[in-house]
Chain A
Amino acid sequence: MAGSFQRDLLTSFLDRVQEHGEHAEQGGENISEFIMHHVQDHVIYPIHLFGVDLSITKHVLMIWIAAAILAILLPLIIRSRALAPKGPVNFIEWIIVFLKDAIIDPYLGEDGYKYAPYLLTAFFFVITLNLLGLVPMGATATGNISVTAAMALLTLFLVQFSSIRKFGFRGYIKSFVPPGLPGFVVPIIFIVEIMGMITKHFALAMRLFANMFAGHLVIFTLLGLIFLFKNILISPFPIFGILFVSLLEILIALIQAYIFTILSAVFIGAALHPQH
């Protein structure tokens, strides 16, 4: 039985591959269109203001849902806190204490109090967007380069702002060049340091985007296999694959939110405590 099943499956697979090869144009495009349709953004309500495209897209909607969930739930939960917290308050407090002990205190120290709201908001925002992407009918806004770029830009601005606030504008410009360099190297180092600064934040955006995008690409590709093979017998394999990748996605959703937050803290900390 089993042997014949495997043989059937293999024959079917080979048939489909052959078929796919023959009709590469038609079948391939359908599948890739299906995948891209599910991982890419779509305009829901087009808005154009002063020649700028400000359309509401599916991902913008997800961002608003996430923001609404956080803006309503967190204050409600935190308002009910007590000396000995329990239930949801305890959970939220545990997360915040964890972030405070693992990220805010080690990298920012005494300045932690000032930058904690940004880092906490970033963490909860990113993690909510990541997890909403795993909810059926949801979309992963963090799998959109625009969203992650916006987050990275916010961190970039906060880093510049924190440096200017602490050292003044002159000190901020000076902090790009380590002291004690011979004069002719200074312009080169200055340009290199600015490029490094931009690269760090570009990588911040790319890392989150690529991780979240790739997971969903894998899920939909596995799902696409069923349509590619046009055989119901193949479906358990992609389904189990999707289950596994989805579990992995949950892990990645948590890890990437943590990494985004810790890197933001590291960048701010580096701006506040330059190596000289």
Chain B
Amino acid sequence: MDLLTPDSGTLFWTVLTFILLLLILKKFAWKPILKTLYDRESKIKTALYQAEQDQKDAAKLLEEQKALLEKAKKESIQIINDSKKSADASRKELIEHARTEAERLLERAKQEIDLSKDAAIQDVKQYATDIAILAAQKVVGETLSKDQHLKLVDKYVKEFIQTQ
């Protein structure tokens, strides 16, 4: 039975027909449709990749914005705190300054008072001496020598100071 014996004619024609069919279909059928399919596939792939990338970018941007907002908040708090501190400091400084100024004025006033007092005492002394001399002249008469005069003055001044 020649059922399993390959026949050269059929073999030859099959191979020839198949190769011709392959060439025709490759040019007119497979190339265009495969191009469409692969293009579509790559398009979908790129679109998916792009979408993923965009999402990542958006998330990153959001994160950045959040961080920026946080930073701004912190900075504003910092600024408020700083201004509070500086206001405090300047207030304290002003008060201190005023106090020292007042103390200085007081001190000066005291000194002036002391000076005036000393001057007054001196005036009073002078005045008392003059009165004493005047009184002595009236009492003793005018005939006292300069020396006697001075001695007397000294004596009375001493007595006056001692009685004081």
Q: Which residues of A contact B (CB under 8 A)?
A: 40-41, 47, 52-57, 59-60, 63-64, 67, 70-71, 74-75, 78-79, 81, 92-93, 96-97, 100, 113, 116-118, 120-122, 124-125, 141, 144-147, 149-151, 153-154, 213
CB proximity of A183 to chain B, nearest CB, Å: 38
Q: Are B15 and A153 in contact (CB under 8 A)?
A: yes
Are the C-beta atoms of B32 and A55 separated by less than 8 Å?
A: no
Q: CA A145 – CA B1 in complex, angstroms?
A: 13
Which of A56, A57, A74 touches B29 (beta carbons < 8 Å)?
A: A74
Q: Are A93 and B9 in contact (CB under 8 A)?
A: no
Decide: A41 and B10 in contact? CB cutoff 8 A. Answer: yes
User: In the complex, how many residue pairs between chain A and chain B have their CB atoms under 8 Å apart?
Assistant: 119
Cβ contact within 8 Å between A78 and B11? no
Number of B positions contacting A (CB below 8 A)? 32
- A154 with B15, Cβ < 8 A, contacts A74-B25, A78-B29, A121-B30 known: yes
B14 contacts across to A, CB distance below 8 A:
60, 63, 141, 146-147, 150-151
Interface SS, B side: helix
Q: Which of B16-24, B55-63, B130-138 contacts A (4 or more CB under 8 A)?
A: B16-24
Q: Which residues of B contact A150 (CB under 8 A)?
A: 10-11, 14-15, 18
- Cβ contacts under 8 Å, A147 to chain B: 10-11, 14
Q: Give min CB distance, A14 to chain B, whole Å.
A: 31
Residue ID in chain B nearest A57 by CB atoms: B10
Assembled-state Cα–Cα distance A117/B12 (Å): 21
Residues of B within 8 A of A63 (CB): 13-14, 17
The 5 closest A-B pairs by CB, nearest first: A75-B28, A146-B10, A150-B14, A74-B29, A117-B26
Q: Which of A53, A100, A117, A153 contacts B37 (CB 8 A)?
A: A100
Q: Which of B5, B12, B33 has the most CB of A within 10 A?
A: B33
Q: Are B8 and A52 in contact (CB under 8 A)?
A: yes
